[in-house]
Structure 1
Amino acid sequence: MKRLIERSRSVGEVLRWVTQNPSKVSASHYPIALHKLGQLLQQQQQQGQATVNGESRGPGQMLEQPEFQTLCQAIISGCSKFDNFSIVNCLYAAAALGLPGESPLVRVLEDESRSRLGRFNQKDVSMVFSSEANNKALEAIFSSQLFYENRQERFIRSMAEWLPRKAENLTPYTMALIAKYVARHRLREPRLLDTIANFLLKRGEQLDSKVIQKLVFPFSRMNYRPSNHSELFPKLEAILEQKAGSSPLATVNILMSMFQLSHFPQTVLHQVFSPAFITNVMSSPYALIVRRYLSLLDAAVELEFRDYSGPRLDPRYRVLMFEHALTADEANRKYSYKGLVAEALRQLVGEECYRQDEVLPPGYCTDFLLWINRSGTVLPLSRVPAASKAPSAHTMTVVLSVNDKWHYCQNSDILVGSRAMRDRHLRLLGYSLVQV
C-alpha cells in the first residue's frame, strides 16, 4: 500500500487507494497519503494546473470531495489508537497541505498531540510545534515543560516569520510565555524581540506591571534595544509612574532591565527611592530581594547616571546584590572552563597570588582577582595592604573573567545584559578586566 500511494500520479488515485482498501490501510499509511496529496497539489500549481475547467484543485476544493472526507473521518476515528509517530506526521502533513486550523481533522490531531506532549521525543515535539500556530495551541506549547526546557530552533526560526503577523491576536499571557522561553534560551532573534516590543507598546497601558516585567525581561537578558525603544521606553516610564507602588518587585525588575540597557528613567527613580516606597517595601514579604535590587540600582546611578539629582537609597538599607556566585554559574560549574583557568593560575603564579569567587561591592561575584604592581609583578596577598586591595594608583587590580557559553546570547558573541552591566560597572570602579 505504501508503494501504491507513493507512485500515485493524481489526487484521485491517492484517495481511491486509501478509501477503497480500508482493510489494507494501517495508521502509518495515513500521513503518507496526506503528504502525497500535498506534493501532487503543489505540482499542479507549479505546472499551471491549479484550475481545470474553471474548477479549483487546491486544498479548499479537495476538502469537499467525498473520498477526502472519508479519509479524514478514518483518521479522526482511529487517531486515539495511532502511535506517536503517526499522530505527529499526520498533523505535520495536514499543516503542510494547508488545511485550515478549524477543520475537524486538524482540531482532533492537535488535541491528541497536546494530550501526548509528555510522551513525545524531541523530533516529534519539533514537528508538532511547527504545525500548530493559533493562540490556544501556542499557550499549550509554551506551557509544556518538555518544550520549555529544550531549545526548538526549527520552530523558533519558523515562528520568527509568522509571529509578527499574528501577534495582535495573542493574549498577554501567551506573549509572556513566549517572552519567558526566548529569555530562558537566550535567543537574540530581532524579529521575535521586536514583535514583543510592538505588542508592549500597543497594549502596555492595559497590562499589569507583573506582566510587563515578563515582556521587558528578554530585552535586557539579550542586551537588545528594540527597534522602537525611542517610543517604548518613555511609554514604560509613564506606566511605571502610575503603577510603581502596585507591585514594587515588578517595578524594580523593570527598572533593572532598563538600567542594563543604559536607560535611566529619572522620574521613576524619584519614586522608588522615596520614603513612602521604601516603607511599603520594608513591610512586604519580598523586602530583602527588593533591597538588593534597589542597592544595585543606587550603585548604578552613582556610576552611570551622574546627572541624577533626586533622592537616593538610604545607606541603612544598602546590601550586596549577590553574596556568592550566581546560581547559574554554580549549577554549570562542571561545564565551565573556570577549573582549567584556576589550575593554570596555580601553576603560573601560585595560590597565594589570586582570590577566586570574590564578591566585590555592589555585589558582583568575580571569577579571579589578582593584584599587579607598577613593574608588572603579580603580588601575593600577604604583600597587598588591605587599603590597596581596591583599585588604586599604586596597584592594578585585575578581574579575570571566564565567560562561558551561558554568559552569551545563543550563537552570539554578545554578553547577556546582566553580565554586560557587571563589566561596565567594574571598569567604572577602576578594575582592569581580562576576559577568557
Structure 2
Amino acid sequence: MKRLIERSRSVGEVLRWVTQNPGKVSASHYPIALHKLGQLLQQQPGPPAGAGDSRGPAGQVLEQPEFHVLCQAIVSGCAKFDNFSIVNCLYAAAALGLPGESPLVRVLEDESRSRLGRFNQKDVSMVFSSEANNKALEAIFSSQLFYENRQERFIRSMAEWLPRKAENLTPYTMALIAKYVARHRLREPRLLDTIANFLLKRGEQLDSKVIQKLVFPFSRMNYRPSNHGELFPKLEAILEQKAGSSPLATVNILMSMFQLSHFPQTVLHQVFSPGFITNVMSSPYALIVRRYLSLLDAAVELEFREYSGPRLDPRYRVLMFEHALTDDEANRKYSYKGLVAEALRQLVGEECYRQDEVLPPGYCTDFLLWINRSGTVLPLSRVPAASRAPPATSPVTMSLRSSVLALTSDLQDFAPVVLSVNDKWHYCQNSDILVGSRAMRDRHLRLLGYCLVQLPYTELEKVSGIEEA
C-alpha cells in the first residue's frame, strides 16, 4: 500500500487507494497519503495558494467525498495510532494547508496534546526537521501545540536550514518564527542573525507592526545582532519615516533598542514631541504607550545624559508597572521567592524587608532591605523616612534624579539593597544571560543607587536540594 500511494500520479488515485482498501490501510499509511496529496497539489498548474483561493492548496480537495472519508478515518482511528503517526499526520495536514479549525487538525492536536508527556524527541523533531514550504511553516508555527512546546532537535535543525531559506520566506512566516524564538527565549545566534539580515534587507518594505515583531527577539534575548552596526541606523531611518503610523509599534521598537543600550536620538525627538503625544492621548492604547514613554524617559535620564532634546511632559508620567509582572505571578508556584522569603523571615524578621515593592520608574523588586555600615539589616522603623525609597504611588511628583539624591543622602549610614531572585524564566534558554527587560531593570536600579544582590535559580536549586540533573 505504501508503494501504491507513493507512485500515485493524481489526487484521485491517492484517495481511491486509501478509501477503497480500508482493510489494507494502517496508521502509518495516512500521513503518507496526506504528504502525497500535498506534493501532487504543489505540482498542479494554477494560481498559488492565497491568490483567489483563500483555502490554499487543500481547498481543491476539501469538497471531494473521498477526502472526507480519508479525514474521518484518521479522526476515528487516531486514538490507536502510534505517536510518530499522530505527529506525522499533524505535520502533513499543516503542509497540505488544512486550516487550524478543521476537525482533522483539531482532533490531531488534541490527541498530540494528551500524549506530550509520552512523546520523545524522535516523535516530534524528526518530522518538524524536514524543510517545508512557506505555507507549511506558517501552519506549523501557528499551531498552538507546537508554539507552546520547545523541540530541541527541531531548533538545532532550524538553525541549519533557516539561513538558507530566509530569502524565500514571507515577512509573516519570519514574524511567526521570531515569535517562537522569543517565546522560548532561544539565544541561538544563527537564528537571531538570520532574522536580523532579513530585517536589514526588507525593512523598508515592512510596516512598523511587522518590524516590532522581528526586533523583539533581540531585546528579549539581550542580543545585539552581528550586523547591528548597519541594522540599527537602518531601523532609526525607518522609524523617522513611520513613527506616527503606529505609535504603539514605534515605542515597542524603541524599547527593544533601549534594552540593548542603543538610543536613537532623532526618533526620541519625534516621540517626545507635542504632536506625537497628542496623537497618543486620543488613541485607545493611550495608557500602555504612556507607560512605555515614561520608562523611555527614565532611561534617557539615567543612561543617555548627553541627550538634549524634548522630554516627556511630567503630566503624562506614570509607572511602567504597578505590581509584579504577569509572567512572575503566573509562575509564582515555580519561583524560589517563597524559599527566599522564608529564609528572610527566619534570619531578619518580616519587619526588616519589603517584598514585591514597586520602585520608580515602575520596577517591581523581589526583596528590599536597608543595611547600615556595620552590615546590620535594619528594621524599616529605624530607616529615616527621607532615606527610604520614594513611594511608587506618586511617580509624577519626583524626578528620578531627585530619587537618587533622596536614596543617597545618607548613603554613608544606610544602603538600600535589592535581593533579585532570578528564576529560570528570567534567563535565556540554557544560558546564564538575563533577558533584556531584566537586564535593563538591573542597570537602572544600580544607577538609582540600589545595591543589587543576584540570587540565580541555579544556586537556589542547590540550597533547596532539587538541583537539576
TM-score (norm 2): 0.70
2:246 paired residue number? 247
With over 3 angstroms needed to count, the CA separation of the structure-2 counterparts of 1:128 and 1:409, relative to structure 1, is: same
**Could you tell me how far 1:377 is from its partner in structure 2?**
1.3
With over 3 angstroms needed to count, the CA separation of the structure-2 counterparts of 1:141 and 1:5, relative to structure 1, is: closer
**Could you tell me how far 1:385 is from its partner in structure 2?**
1.4
Q: Would the aligned equivalents of 1:370 and 1:399 in 2 still touch at CA under 8 Å?
A: yes
**Could you tell me how far 1:85 is from its partner in structure 2?**
3.9
- Cα distance in 2 between the residues matched to 1:171 and 1:46: 22
Q: Would the aligned equivalents of 2:131 and 2:161 in 1 still touch at CA under 8 Å?
A: no
**Could you tell me how far 1:31 is from its partner in structure 2?**
9.2
Deviations 1:133-160 (A, max 9, x none): 2111100000000011111111111010
- Cα distance in 1 between the residues matched to 2:344 and 2:49: 74
Q: Would the aligned equivalents of 1:296 and 1:321 in 2 still touch at CA under 8 Å?
A: yes
Q: Secondary structure at the match of 1:54?
A: coil
- Cα distance in 2 between the residues matched to 1:323 and 1:372: 25
With over 3 angstroms needed to count, the CA separation of the structure-2 counterparts of 1:158 and 1:348, relative to structure 1, is: same
- Cα distance in 2 between the residues matched to 1:223 and 1:2: 48
Q: Would the aligned equivalents of 2:97 and 2:135 in 1 still touch at CA under 8 Å?
A: no
- Matches for 1:265-304 after TM superposition, within 5 Å: 265-304=264-303
Instruction: Answer with 327-336 or 14-23: which moved more.
Output: 14-23
Q: Secondary structure at the match of 1:378?
A: coil
With over 3 angstroms needed to count, the CA separation of the structure-2 counterparts of 1:410 and 1:105, relative to structure 1, is: closer
With over 3 angstroms needed to count, the CA separation of the structure-2 counterparts of 1:133 and 1:118, relative to structure 1, is: farther
Q: Would the aligned equivalents of 2:96 and 2:136 in 1 still touch at CA under 8 Å?
A: no
Q: How many pairs align?
A: 430
**Could you tell me how far 1:208 is from its partner in structure 2?**
0.5
With over 3 angstroms needed to count, the CA separation of the structure-2 counterparts of 1:344 and 1:207, relative to structure 1, is: same
Q: Would the aligned equivalents of 1:92 and 1:127 in 2 still touch at CA under 8 Å?
A: no
With over 3 angstroms needed to count, the CA separation of the structure-2 counterparts of 1:311 and 1:419, relative to structure 1, is: same
- Cα distance in 2 between the residues matched to 1:53 and 1:223: 39
Q: Would the aligned equivalents of 1:92 and 1:130 in 2 still touch at CA under 8 Å?
A: no
Q: Would the aligned equivalents of 2:359 and 2:389 in 1 still touch at CA under 8 Å?
A: no
Q: Secondary structure at the match of 2:370?
A: strand
Q: Would the aligned equivalents of 2:55 and 2:99 in 1 still touch at CA under 8 Å?
A: no
- Cα distance in 2 between the residues matched to 1:29 and 1:300: 59
**Could you tell me how far 1:301 is from its partner in structure 2?**
0.3
Deviations 1:315-344 (A, max 9, x none): 110011000000011100110010010010
With over 3 angstroms needed to count, the CA separation of the structure-2 counterparts of 1:50 and 1:329, relative to structure 1, is: closer
**RMSD between superposed Cα atoms in Å:** 9.2
With over 3 angstroms needed to count, the CA separation of the structure-2 counterparts of 1:373 and 1:2, relative to structure 1, is: same
Instruction: Answer with 378-387 or 3-12: which moved more.
Output: 3-12
**Could you tell me how far 1:189 is from its partner in structure 2?**
0.5
Deviations 1:178-211 (A, max 9, x none): 0011101100010000000000000000001000
**Could you tell me how far 1:131 is from its partner in structure 2?**
2.8
- Cα distance in 1 between the residues matched to 2:47 and 2:264: 60
Q: Would the aligned equivalents of 2:208 and 2:249 in 1 still touch at CA under 8 Å?
A: yes
**Could you tell me how far 1:111 is from its partner in structure 2?**
17
**Could you tell me how far 1:416 is from its partner in structure 2?**
0.1
- Cα distance in 2 between the residues matched to 1:392 and 1:56: 55
**Could you tell me how far 1:90 is from its partner in structure 2?**
8.6
With over 3 angstroms needed to count, the CA separation of the structure-2 counterparts of 1:57 and 1:14, relative to structure 1, is: farther
With over 3 angstroms needed to count, the CA separation of the structure-2 counterparts of 1:178 and 1:356, relative to structure 1, is: same
**Could you tell me how far 1:97 is from its partner in structure 2?**
19
Greater Cα radius of gyration, structure 1 or 2: 1
Q: Would the aligned equivalents of 1:423 and 1:433 in 2 still touch at CA under 8 Å?
A: yes
**Could you tell me how far 1:12 is from its partner in structure 2?**
26
1:51 paired residue number? 49
Q: Would the aligned equivalents of 1:409 and 1:416 in 2 still touch at CA under 8 Å?
A: yes
Deviations 1:276-308 (A, max 9, x none): 000000000000000000000000000000110
Deviations 1:70-119 (A, max 9, x none): 99999999999987644656999999999999999999999999999999
- Cα distance in 2 between the residues matched to 1:51 and 1:250: 29
- Cα distance in 2 between the residues matched to 1:53 and 1:265: 40
**Could you tell me how far 1:128 is from its partner in structure 2?**
3.0
- Cα distance in 2 between the residues matched to 1:317 and 1:271: 16
1:374 paired residue number? 373
**Could you tell me how far 1:261 is from its partner in structure 2?**
0.1
Instruction: Answer with 129-138 or 170-179: which moved more.
Output: 129-138
- Cα distance in 1 between the residues matched to 2:302 and 2:106: 56
With over 3 angstroms needed to count, the CA separation of the structure-2 counterparts of 1:375 and 1:243, relative to structure 1, is: same
Q: Secondary structure at the match of 1:312?
A: coil
**Could you tell me how far 1:386 is from its partner in structure 2?**
1.2
Q: Would the aligned equivalents of 1:353 and 1:370 in 2 still touch at CA under 8 Å?
A: yes
**Could you tell me how far 1:127 is from its partner in structure 2?**
3.6
2:444 paired residue number? 425
**Could you tell me how far 1:4 is from its partner in structure 2?**
18
Q: Would the aligned equivalents of 1:110 and 1:132 in 2 still touch at CA under 8 Å?
A: no
Q: Secondary structure at the match of 1:400?
A: strand
- Matches for 1:323-402 after TM superposition, within 5 Å: 323-390=322-389, 398-402=417-421
**Could you tell me how far 1:375 is from its partner in structure 2?**
1.8
Q: Secondary structure at the match of 1:52?
A: coil
TM-score (norm 1): 0.76
Q: Would the aligned equivalents of 1:95 and 1:131 in 2 still touch at CA under 8 Å?
A: no
With over 3 angstroms needed to count, the CA separation of the structure-2 counterparts of 1:368 and 1:139, relative to structure 1, is: same
- Cα distance in 2 between the residues matched to 1:235 and 1:261: 16
Deviations 1:194-236 (A, max 9, x none): 0000000000000010000000000000000000000000000
Instruction: Answer with 314-323 or 130-139: which moved more.
Output: 130-139
